[in-house]
């Protein structure tokens, strides 16, 4: 030994080599590891359930959107029919008191048969 070195500076002769204890059924950590493994399994099942619910929600949302569009079209059609009926009633009430007469022409619009001229019988006269 060197007088300049102390006993604390020396390295231990060897680190003991032992195998770790196995976690068996009776070991307290066995219960903990088993519960973690069961939670991982449950987490996978929960994730698959969430994915299927997400798909169901998307399909339901598209069906609801289609129903809303149909409702809006029916509502718009009912408003249009109501407007046209109201306009028709207004027109009937407006012209109910005002006499409407259609003037008939006094002279004959079609030419009479006596005024029609026929083409010459023989266009080539020598």
What mean pLDDT value characterizes the chain? 78
Q: In sequence order, what are the residues at sequence separation of 6 or more whose Cβ sits closer than 8 angstroms to the Cβ of residue 23?
A: 29, 30, 33
Q: In sequence order, what are the residues at sequence separation of 6 or more whose Cβ sits closer than 8 angstroms to the Cβ of residue 29?
A: 23
Using one digit for the tens of pLDDT, what is the confidence trace for 38-78? 898 899 899 999 999 999 999 999 999 999 999 999 999 99
pLDDT at 8: 55
Using one digit for the tens of pLDDT, what is the confidence trace for 19-39? 666 666 666 777 788 888 889
Using one digit for the tens of pLDDT, what is the confidence trace for 76-98? 999 999 999 999 999 888 888 77
Kindly report the number of other CB atoms within 10 A of residue 115's CB atom.
6
pTM: 0.41
Residue 49's nearest CA partner among 59, 57, 61, 60 is 57
């Amino acid at each position: 030994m060197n007088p300049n070195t102390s006993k604390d500076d020396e390295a231990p002769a060897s680190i003991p080599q032992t195998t770790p204890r196995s976690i068996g059924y009776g070991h307290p950590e066995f219960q903990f590891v088993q519960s973690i493994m069961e939670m991982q399994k449950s987490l996978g099942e929960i994730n698959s359930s969430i994915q299927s619910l997400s798909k169901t929600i998307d399909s339901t949302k598209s069906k609801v959107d289609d129903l809303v569009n149909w409702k809006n079209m029916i509502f718009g059609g009912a408003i249009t029919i109501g407007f046209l009926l109201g306009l028709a009633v207004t027109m009937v009430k407006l012209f109910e008191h005002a006499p409407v007469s259609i003037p008939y022409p006094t002279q004959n619009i079609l030419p009479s048969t006596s005024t029609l001229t026929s083409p010459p019988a023989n266009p080539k006269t020598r």
